[in-house]
A and B are shown apart, each in its own frame.
Chain A
Amino acid sequence: MTTTTPAPGEFHVVGDDIRDAAAPTGPIERRWDDRKFNAKLVNPANRRKIKVIVVGTGLAGASAAATLGEAGYQVVSFCYQDSPRRAHSIAAQGGINAAKNYRNDGDSIYRLFYDTVKGGDFRSRESNVYRLAQVSVNIIDQCVAQGVPFAREYGGLLDNRSFGGVQVSRTFYARGQTGQQLLIGAYQALERQIGAGTVEMNTRHEMLEVILVPDADGVERARGIVVRDMVTGEIETHTADAVVLATGGYGNVFFLSTNAMGSNTTATWRAHKKGAYFANPCYTQIHPTCIPVSGEYQSKLTLMSESLRNDGRIWVPKKEGDDRPASQIPEDERDYYLERIYPSFGNLVPRDIASRAAKYQCDDGKGVGPGGLGVYLDFADAIERLGRPAVEAKYGNLFDMYARITGEDPYSEPMRIYPAVHYVMGGLWVDYDLQTNITGLFCAGEANFSDHGANRLGASALMQGLADGYFVLPNTLADYLAASPFEKIADDHPRVVEARQEVEARITKLLEIDGTRTVDSIHKELGHIMWEYCGMERTAEGLTKAVGLIRELKNEFWTNVKVTGVNEELNQTLERAGRVADFLELGELMCIDALNRAESCGGHFRAESQTEDGEAMRHDDQFAYVSAWEYDTDGDGQTPILHKEPLEYEYVEMKARSYK
């Protein structure tokens, strides 16, 4: 039973454990086949009568919408950009994994499964990860059939490269623009369905609420969404038989991240406030190789692909506060600290480890560049070994991007890099079928929590987004839709009207406050709090402080924010205000989650839980579970309820990760 008062020093209460009821048991290689075989099918003639809402047109949403459209369902798709092709997946650089074993280097579905479970620091589900590894091979086939121009070898076959954290070459890529090419493939498939009339596309529409309607048995089902037309301000309601959220990650809670300016949590947070559990919100991935911040005006951070670590060497001066230019620091006064501490993986250690190591160097006063917040990524050796043309061919576009942003030439002086928020492993809790705990509400891609545990390996998010959209959802959603079409919901249904009114009231309130603080100034302040206390290293003391600070800031927002203009126009300030309001609440939950998880695992590092030599220390006896948070509706979110989903490992033995 759930008590209503938190234990001392905590902000939450503990509810009942939950289980993933949808996952089959039996041999792991058979589970996905069994699930598909036992899933109910929808008669092709009926599909025309069944409507599915898909929010988001990134890899997960576009692939799902296109595939469902091809299958004959009526699909209604939404995105906030002016075209589905601009979803943030477009920015992914490095590549996509698949267990093809084209290199004959010992790769297999089992190895990809194993690497992903281990890379996730034993905080993901074996069944999900195995399925991901299985369908990875179909993804490459599908993308090639669509015309995705992956890199090829001279013989005309597909090329591969290796990516941080693993020792086989299983990453498929299209120069430094893999996300772009994969998304364009999915986008074209989507546009084809729009042309064919199976998908209705709504661009510049932002989802602001889900609509739940109880069925005849009293089961609350997701039956629609409320959206705002971002050009006219009109508030629209859309109803359907099922709703899929594929709305991406919430890294922008930190203000500065590598995410796109519009990336947000609004869709998932609204669903959370309507009852969907939010899983592992504190699992954040901080990417080690980003261009450092240059000033207060900075609006976003730019990633330099991880592939740079294949040839670049990371170092700092041995001497604290050494402000000589890099070229004047002799070899024996440089500390190649990753190579020193992790001799077997060197510069290729997983992201969380590389990021924290950089932070420690800077904390010790050895950082380089403005404010001492940077380390060198040096290509001098690579240029000498391979020649400048070879380095140019491999990394030319990245070097150009660096030069453009910083005004410095990375061929003649080392790049300066620093970690930045990049990806979130947390997201809406879903079962094996990608269904949230709200019946009929599904969640795919970065927006769900499902496959990466506490840390995602490079080139695995693109794989997951496309696995979810092309191969998983079309099967599991059909199982749900087999009982549909459900009773039609009228536009004047009390639940529809109520959801619309909630949205309108929130907008009116935002516009009425008319205070003195800009939305961005509050968002930046939230970002500073999150980075300081819920970033690369977290402590109980800091997190407790952060919860208090965020609560004060939330109050400041709702009493003193200034939102100019009116609703009935294209109003970008209003859009941002709505997103920041949700980030403030999510940030608070992230801190509460991080506080509860008094262990270090993957991207979540609690200073209190480390080994003698400073490595992350898990506590499997206490924390081998998924934290699925229920919104506390009565208490206005002040006391969230924690449901634990125990994690069991039948195939991969739980070990401490070691990359030394």
Chain B
Amino acid sequence: MKITVNIWRQKDADAKGSMVTYPLESVDEHMSFLEMLDVLNEKLTIDGEDPVAFDSDCREGICGTCGVVINGIPHGPEVTTTCQLHMRTFKDGDTIDIEPWRAGAFPVVKDLVVDRGSFDRIIQAGGYISAPTGAAVEANNIPVPKADADHAFEAATCIGCGACVAACPNGSAMLFTASKITHLGLLPQGQPERDSRVLGMVEQHDAEGFGGCTNIGECTAACPKGIPLDVISRLNRDLLGALSRQAVGS
């Protein structure tokens, strides 16, 4: 297939960026989207031009490293990660716009690469269960109803890619934050720190400059792991509870 790509090029965090057009002559339908960019980069390198910088690592849809906005949609037209999107989704002659995640809390580092360090700082603020090595009890002493375990697992499949933020008109990271609140909050081990977790994480979320959630739902539509919107309701319930307990000083 012949494909034309318009790619956001930006030399570094401070530079002004712009879209640059590159024609590609022979794109195979079985190529992954990132392999298409690899092929472009090989060509640019041979021509002595600076290849396009983009992030990827596992290329299996699990590490959350990759992610670009494709024709205006984070990770492109299918519900999957950028690395798992294949060129058979496109047609001969298509033009594809490729841009980085756009969000105040994800500054562009170069071209399609952004800084998502804010996600790690949200986790630092409470996204864990304090269980120092060596202190654990025998695993089967903590039975967990299968339904809760499965539900916790589903929330825990978030890969931290940031597509939810890129999709949200408010640039909110509530889906990401709430998936962790849900994962840990559904498990008996997660109960003792439930209040401090939600208070800490939400405070950090706001401090990082992520916007507020107004229940638009674009996040969940873009999420490659299908994290459902109801995790945010759970976060809101936990937050209200924690705030009221904090207010009465219990």
Contact = CB atoms under 8 A, between A and B. Distances in A.
B84 interface: yes
Nearest to B138: A141
B110 interface: yes
A146 B131 contact: yes
A63 B132 CA distance: 11
14 contacts: A86-B160, A100-B139, A140-B139, A153-B146, A175-B153, A181-B153, A192-B124, A195-B124, A201-B120, A297-B28, A401-B61, A564-B50, A564-B51, A573-B45
B59 A82 contact: no
Interface stretch (B62-70, B211-219, B227-235, B237-245): B62-70
B165 to A, nearest CB: 14
A405 B30 CA distance: 8
Contacts of B32: 299, 405
B57 A81 contact: yes
Contact of A261 (B57, B119, B132, B184): B57
A142 B143 contact: no
Interface in B93-133: 109-110, 113, 115-117, 119-120, 123-125, 127-133
B28 A84 contact: no
B200 to A, nearest CB: 9
Contact of B46 (A188, A298, A518): A518
A474 B132 CA distance: 12
Contacts of B116: 82-83
A147 B130 contact: no
B247 interface: no
Contacts of A181: 153, 156
Given A138-B136, A404-B86, A147 B183 contact: yes
A146 B136 CA distance: 9
Given A144-B136, A147-B129, A401-B61, A572 B53 contact: yes
Interface string A553-594: 000000000101100011011000000000000000000000
B88 to A, nearest CB: 6
A83 B161 CA distance: 10
Contacts of B132: 67, 70
Contacts of B113: 570
Contacts of B144: 152, 156
Contact of A404 (B38, B80, B149): B80
A231 B12 CA distance: 9
Contacts, number: 214
Interface in A211-265: 231, 260-262
A149 B142 CA distance: 12
Nearest to A83: B120
A168 interface: no
A647 interface: no
Nearest to A258: B60
B50 A145 contact: no
B63 A569 contact: no
Contact of A145 (B38, B45, B136): B136
A203 B118 CA distance: 12
Interface in A121-158: 138, 140-147, 149-158
Interface string B186-221: 010110000000000000000000000000000000
Given A149-B187, A520-B42, 17 more contacts: A83-B119, A83-B120, A86-B58, A141-B139, A145-B129, A145-B136, A145-B142, A149-B150, A189-B131, A203-B117, A299-B35, A407-B29, A407-B88, A516-B46, A518-B42, A565-B50, A570-B12
A149 B133 contact: no
A289 interface: no
Contacts of B149: 149-152, 156
Contact of B184 (A147, A191, A407): A147
B30 A294 contact: yes
A142 B134 CA distance: 7
Nearest to B45: A518
A570 B11 CA distance: 9
B56 interface: yes
A406 B88 CA distance: 10
Interface of B: 11-12, 28-32, 34-35, 38-39, 42, 44-46, 48-51, 53, 55-65, 80, 84, 86, 88, 109-110, 113, 115-117, 119-120, 123-125, 127-140, 142-146, 149-150, 152-153, 156-157, 159-160, 183-184, 187, 189-190
Contacts of A480: none
Nearest to B11: A569
Contact of B31 (A201, A295, A404): A295
Contacts of A67: 132-133
A53 B29 CA distance: 45
A191 B204 CA distance: 14
Interface string A290-308: 0000110111101100000
B143 A156 contact: yes
> What are the nearest 3 A-B pairs in CB distance?
A156-B143, A195-B124, A188-B128
B91 to A, nearest CB: 15
A231 B125 contact: no
Contacts of B146: 152-154, 156
A140 B142 CA distance: 12
A191 B123 contact: yes
A86 B64 contact: yes
A596 interface: no
Contacts of A407: 29-30, 86, 88
B86 A405 contact: yes
A151 B64 CA distance: 23
Contacts of B38: 297, 299, 520
A153 B145 CA distance: 8
Nearest to A85: B160
A300 B84 CA distance: 12
A300 B119 CA distance: 27
A477 B136 CA distance: 22
A252 to B, nearest CB: 11
A303 B117 CA distance: 29
Nearest to B133: A67
Interface in A54-82: 63, 66-67, 70, 81-82
A263 to B, nearest CB: 8
Interface string A623-647: 0000000000000000000000000
A470 interface: yes
Contacts of B123: 187-188, 191
Given A102-B140, A149-B152, A181-B153, A302 B160 contact: no
A91 interface: yes
A86 B159 CA distance: 9
Contacts of B142: 144-145
A452 interface: no
A313 interface: no
Contacts of A143: 139
B143 A155 contact: yes
B160 A142 contact: no
A344 B61 CA distance: 36
B60 A191 contact: no
A149 B138 contact: no
A84 B120 contact: yes
Given A144-B139, A157-B140, A191 B128 contact: yes
A155 to B, nearest CB: 7
Nearest to A157: B140
A595 B65 CA distance: 38
With a 10 A CB-CB cut-off, give which of B88, B117, B153 has the most chain A CB atoms: B153
A295 B28 contact: yes
B191 to A, nearest CB: 11
B51 A261 contact: no
Contacts of A474: 133
A194 interface: yes
A345 interface: no
Contacts of A63: 133
A489 to B, nearest CB: 29
A109 interface: no
Contact of B133 (A154, A203, A471): A471
B115 A82 contact: yes
Nearest to B39: A297
